[in-house]
Chain A
Amino acid sequence: MSGKAGSTINRRTFLKALGAAGIAASAGGAILLPGNLLVMPHSEGFLVVDMGKCMGCGTCMTTCSLTHHGKASLSLSRIQIEQNSFANWPDDITMSICRQCKDAPCVSACPVNANHVDSENGMVRRIDPDRCIGCMQCIAACPYLPKRLQWDPVQRKVQKCDLCVDTPYLKEKGGPGNTQACVKVCPVGAIAFIDKMPDQKSPHGYEVNLRGKGWEKTGGSREDLHSKS
């Protein structure tokens, strides 16, 4: 008694078929190769914050999470205001906001094009949650600490500031050129939307002086926090 393969084809047939399929696949490959390299255009909008004016109320944070997620949360906020109530002004509050970087490393790091430059919305760098695979590589790629991208443990996806493009709980239209919830809600006008790219090299590039004459009338100083040098 001998064990023989029970197949009904012979080797020759198999190898013939293999060759034919190989030629077909190679021909198709040339068509499928994407040829255009990605050149990343600058974002058409940026958020800047006056760290001397901010009240530390965190309303920007909860409103951010509300407009995007429908939940009130600090951990899910795309703008992070950190404070130490015992420290001296202005260092008692620090702010971590997405800089909509030039050649954004987080966009480059995304393996599946979920984190992308949105050409329909002012070139804002944003993450499509339907594409995000939760690998967190964009977080690793962000050059700033704390990282400007947030992990959503419930959805197991990464999120970042989209200048309010995708805000299901904002009644008005969001995005560059439209409403940013944090700018609109800030009680003291300490956050501004600008369309000119801030200084990328300065550590204070995204800080701005928004204290006007009214501020002075209430007793505060209008001095710049950091010299331009």
Chain B
Amino acid sequence: MFGFTGKILHINLTTGTSKTIPTEKYKRWGGGHGMGSALFWDLCEDKTITDGRDSKNVVCIATSPFSGTNVPSAGGRCEVVGVGVGLYPVSWFTRSNFGGRFSATMKYAGWDAIVISGKAAQPVWLDIRNDSVNIRSAKDIWGKDTKTTQESIWQTVEEETETIDGWQQLPTPKGSGYSTQKPAVLAIGPAGENQVATACLVHDAGNGAGQGGFGAVWGSKNLKAISFYGTGSVEIADPAALVQARFDAKEFYAGDVDNPDASHWGPFGKPAKPVLFCDEPSKKRRTQSCQGCINGCRGRYDIGYGNEVSCQETSWYSSFAQKWVKGDKQKASAIIMRSGELCNRLGINTYPLGEGLHWLEHLYHEGLLGPDKAISSSLDWEKIGSPEFAEQFLQAIATGNDIGKDLIDGWVQAAYKWGREEDHKTGKLQFPYWGMPEHGYDPRAELEWGFETIMCDRDMNSHCFNWIFWQANISILFGQRPFLAADKLAEIVTSKLAPYVDSPAALDYSTPNMYSDDVMQLTRWHIHYSRFWKNSTLLCDFRWADLFNTHTPDSHGATGSEKAGEHVFWNAVTGDTMSLADGLEIGKQIWALDNAIWTLQGRHRDVVKFADYIYDQPFTKGELLPFFFWPCRDEKGEWHYQDVMRRSLDRDKFEDWKSRFYTLEGCDPETGWPTRTSLAAMDLAFVADELEKNQRIGKEG
């Protein structure tokens, strides 16, 4: 079985037992998310639960055939699925994804996925070394941050493993294996232990499965950490083809750090460089990456802090810190990097913190929050932006004290608890979908981001098309002509979206085209692409899909290419003969299975809606920039980059959009529930049986 190890590990924490499930049955899903959803379907006995902290919840951490290989920007990604925590109105079956080397090490240890069910009576951690599986007491590490926890487990494993000639020696069924590496540990911090809705899973210094509240899920199960240590290999169907494709990916598509091209457009071709929303804290650093990455996006520094802190971890406190130090960028950087690192140590998802803290600051200035105020908090709100405040605030969130007490169940939930539902409706609390914060790409402007998120379970966080926003708007910000003209870009991008899209119009986000079938097909392509190629084969969202890439003569990206396309890597690793579109078909099936789970959880199309402000108020204030340019056609059909701010969604038109979407996905447009015919056509009749038993099967069209 190429690409897979052939074994899935199922741990029942209630009984303290483990068993092995053959991977064969789950191979059809590719790995990652699809495999996880299928395992959840089979192993979660009550799929009506809507709080991930329920002991009946089943959480699955899954690898893919790419994990542990050199497939560019894929070898180290890992997917987590299960019922989430802190979403609104209920917590759906959801997903999160993180990088590093955890999935690779899981594969080297001989496992394709690990499924956790039940709840341990006492805090435990899982110690997996090749075939040996041990459920161990976490008494000594409970209460510790994620760094201390991981270092403690590294030390324990190292002390218990014989070191021979500088190599750690591990028994395997094929004789002693040897490794120079450290065990790969995925852990929760105090936030997870306290079952805080925004708690995440952290691996190494800066890899977090943030969204979905899986830290709280682990906390509820008394699961502190999972450690994998392995000395095995991933069998590859066509190693020579894989190596060649990886060479080609570098030669033709990747960025060259020794000759960086500032004008380059496209995700795959970016050179290795930490992605920060502040100045780099030190030049003495490396760009650090997940295993197998084509070009990393984080740094490790010589200054004793900030290792692997990047992107949103540096964004949430950025504006507060900049204000506090009155524009001193280096001082701000130190505060921002330290507060980002503290989030990782405490195991807090930084996403809600940015939008959330702006809202709390607003409540403070309104006199509604503070010492002896309606919303009681004794934090030093006058010092917001300072390192001291960040420390106080994050400790409160992680421990559920002070302001953190009411935020344990989620931010929108807190707004309702405090009688501030108006803030959610008016957008003072910018959490537009499923109780999650706006990502910087408002659904009223970046249509696919919002549409996909609402048709799924959480902030989509899939940047395939979003790179257009960054490339075009940064050019415009610096007064430059966009490197790729709007018409050219639309043509290149949409040429990659077969068989869903046959017209460049799919990229036209102008107001008249917002609800068109073309844009809908682009959205569907993206859901299915993300469900399979990103979340199941585990290509990194930050580098894939590579739709456009100005390193190539025709500016076409690696996606779908015969040199270094997704399917080229898949076929080399597994020996299949799949096309990019075949993968999309599996993505469609994965969404159908997910939708069936949501249906059992109680989803009906009526709850599939944005917060009111998305419909009722025009988008006027950009989170990142004061404008939001996107390729659009004017009345004459000419393409331009056009600012798509200052508009809102239309309820009726979006409801009609949903009906058409559900129909295309084989669901009953009245309820959004899957139909038997469409499920059977996808070889999912067993899903239809379960839905029928629960009287939740969609009516045939």
Q: Which residues of A contact B (CB under 8 A)?
A: 52-59, 62-63, 65-67, 69-76, 80, 82-90, 92-93, 96, 139-140, 142, 145-147, 150-151, 153-154, 156, 168-171, 181, 184-185, 187-189, 212, 214-215, 217-221, 223
**A86 CB → nearest B CB, Å:** 5
CB distance from B314 to the nearest CB of A (A): 14
By a CB distance below 8 angstroms, the chain A residues around B244 are: 171
A52 to B236, CA, bound (A): 32
Residue from A72, A85, A150, A218 within 8 A of B257 (CB atoms): A218
Whole-angstrom distance between the alpha carbons of A219 and B293 in the complex?
A: 20
A220–B302 CB distance below 8 A = no
Could you list some 8 contacts between A and B, CB below 8 A? Answer: A58-B101, A75-B178, A75-B233, A88-B300, A171-B243, A187-B254, A212-B258, A218-B287
B233 lies within 8 A of A187 (CB):
no
Question: Which residues from chain B contact A185 at a C-beta distance below 8 Å?
Answer: 70, 243, 246-247, 250
Taking a contact as CB atoms closer than 8 A, the residue among A59, A151, A188 that contacts B178 in the complex is A151
Please name all residues of chain A whose beta carbon is closer than 8 Å to the beta carbon of B70 when the two chains form the complex.
59, 62-63, 66, 72, 185
Task: Tell me, yes or no, whether B273 is within 8 Å of chain A by CB.
Answer: yes
Known contacts A59-B246, A185-B247, A223-B284; A88/B303 CB under 8 A:
yes
Nearest chain-B residue to A73 (Cβ)? B233
Q: How far is the CB of A226 from chain B (nearest CB, A)?
A: 13
Q: Flag whether B235 is at the interface (Cβ < 8 A).
A: yes
Alpha-carbon distance A153/B235, docked complex (angstroms): 15
Interface window among B46-54, B115-123, B166-174, B208-216: B166-174
In whole angstroms, how far apart are the Cα atoms of A229 and B376 in the complex?
61
Cα–Cα distance between A90 and B301 once the two chains are bound (Å): 8
What 4 pairs between A and B have smallest CB-CB spacing?
A146-B166, A145-B166, A73-B233, A71-B233
Q: Which residue of A lies closest to B256 (CB)?
A: A214
Complex CA distance for A14 and B246, rounded to whole angstroms:
71
Point out the residues of chain B lying under 8 angstroms from A217, CB to CB.
260
Contact A188 B243 (CB under 8 A): no
In the complex, which residues 214-258 of chain B have their Cβ closer than 8 Å to any Cβ of chain A? 231-236, 239-240, 242-244, 246-247, 250, 254, 256-258
The reply to whether the CB of B635 lies closer than 8 angstroms to some CB of chain A is no
- CB pair A218–B271 under 8 Å, yes or no, is yes
Q: Which residue of A has the minimal Cβ distance to B244?
A: A171
- When C-beta atoms are compared, the residue in chain B nearest to A179 turns out to be B247
| Residues of chain A contacted by B240 (CB below 8 angstroms) | 168-171
Are B292 and A67 in contact (CB-based, < 8 A)? Answer: no
Determine the main DSSP class of B at the interface with A. loop
Please, which residues of chain A bring their CB within 8 A of the CB of B236?
Answer: 66, 70-72
CA distance A229 to B652 in the complex (A): 75
Of B179-187, B479-487, B588-596, B676-684, the one with at least 4 CB within 8 A of chain A? B179-187
Q: Does the CB pair B287–A72 fall under 8 Å?
A: no
A69 CB contacts on chain B under 8 angstroms: 233, 239
- Of A85, A92, A145, A219, most buried by chain B (CB within 10 Å of CB) is A85
* 14 further interface pairs, Cβ-Cβ under 8 Å (given A70-B239, A76-B233): A56-B288, A58-B292, A59-B75, A62-B75, A66-B242, A75-B231, A84-B182, A85-B100, A85-B206, A88-B303, A89-B285, A92-B300, A187-B250, A188-B258
Q: Check A82 against B283 for contact (C-beta < 8 Å).
A: no
Does B165 count as interface, using CB distance less than 8 angstroms?
yes
Q: Which A residue's beta carbon lies closest to that of B299? A: A89
Known contacts: A57-B292, A93-B286. The answer to whether A184 contacts B247 by CB under 8 A is yes
- Residue B108 lies at the interface, judged by CB distance under 8 Å to chain A: yes
Q: Which of A72, A89, A184, A187 contacts B284 (CB 8 A)?
A: A89
Across-interface contacts of A147 in B (CB, < 8 A): 165-167
- A55–B260 alpha-carbon span in the complex (Å): 16
Choose among B101, B178, B243 the residue that contacts A63 (Cβ–Cβ < 8 A). Answer: B243
Option from A88, A142, A188, A221 in Cβ contact (under 8 Å) with B272: A188
In the complex, what residue of chain A is closest to B273 when comparing beta carbons? A218
- Expressed in whole angstroms, the Cα–Cα distance for A219 and B273 within the complex equals 8
* Bound CA span A147–B272, Å: 31
Given contacts A88-B303, A146-B166, A218-B271, contact A55 B288 (CB under 8 A): yes
Query: Is B296 located at the chain interface by the 8 A CB criterion?
Result: yes
Contacts of A170 in B (CB 8 A): 240, 243
